[in-house]
A and B are shown apart, each in its own frame.
Chain A
Amino acid sequence: MALRLEPLNRSHRPLLADFQNPQASLVEYLQRYALRHAEKDLLARTYLALDASVGTPRLAGYFSLATVSVERASVARQPELDRLPRFPIPGILLARLAVDTRVRGQGLGRYLFETALGLTLQLAQTGPVAFRLFVTDALDTEAARFYHYFGLAPLGDDFPCRMVLDLRPLLAGRSST
């Protein structure tokens, strides 16, 4: 298989400098913070898509996953929210997802999203903890369209736009199969 996914570790450092993406923050996160968050601070784990079909492996894309706790900023009581689960609501945050500019439009973004969702569902189904939401922040309209295509709904109208997917129906569907 030419493309493989690997959790980011120190051995990948030489590959990071070549990564290209129009969103500077996605490049900067990968090159400056992702390894520290994964190995030292234990805040997020990053998975690299490495393409080995061209000889020396090249970094084609990546995504980062972290845990998240969704809370209310306001403590004012809203009766219409009484039917909701008590806050905070736990979830998994797709913190970053990016594809190298040179291989865009070839289905890698979709493959990475599927993989991130698959890892999340696997953890929700068989892991030792429960959580309800799959959350991400779309940086621009293109990203928001991409996530909306997969069923994530926006919580606001500005960018970065927080978007969520309720995992409960997906888990119920999977456990019944």
Chain B
Amino acid sequence: MSRFQALTNAVLDAELDRLRVRLGLEPNQKAELLREMAAIAGWVARQAELGRTIEARRDGESEPLVHPALERLRTPVEQPVGARLALSDAEIRRLAAILDGGFDPPPALRTALANLARADRQPPPLHWPPAA
């Protein structure tokens, strides 16, 4: 919390003020500034959620927008991971082929099943590197 407050008070306030000037707003228009920022950030977040790359382009050059928050949006960490998976038609066709195919487990799966059947199954011993 203290680090967040320090950033807010010192760095972020200055950054927000620079943005206010760039956007042509007066010092008493902080509510408008936040509204415009929220609209821009909302658009960016929606594009990231859709898996789209956000780029700045000019002439032949392009620079992607990279930020950890956008990566989190692209990889929905918080989602309970399952519950309901809606497959596309292409995925469904592959699933159909899998369910319809014969059973030919690879050696690693046979080994895994054999290991699971063993009463004396042991985890591997682990070796940690020495602490730096």
Contacts and interface: CB of A to CB of B under 8 A. Distances in A.
B1 interface: no
B contact residues, range:
35 or more
Interface string A64-88: 1011111111101010110111001
Contacts, number: 166
A156 B82 contact: no
A contact residues, range:
35 or more
A1 B123 CA distance: 8
B111 to A, nearest CB: 9
B78 A33 contact: yes
A121 interface: yes
B69 to A, nearest CB: 12
B116 A114 contact: yes
A96 B125 CA distance: 22
Q: Which of B89, B108, B126 has the most CB of A within 10 A?
A: B126
A71 B77 contact: no
Interface string B69-82: 00110010110111
Given A81-B92, A103-B128, A164-B98, 8 more contacts: A2-B123, A25-B72, A51-B126, A76-B89, A81-B93, A84-B96, A111-B123, A150-B109
Interface of A: 1-5, 24-25, 28-29, 32-33, 37, 41, 43-44, 49, 51, 53-54, 58, 60, 64, 66-74, 76, 78, 80-81, 83-85, 88, 93, 95-96, 102-103, 106-108, 110-111, 113-114, 117-118, 121, 132, 135, 139, 149-151, 153-156, 160, 162, 164-166, 168-170, 173-174, 177
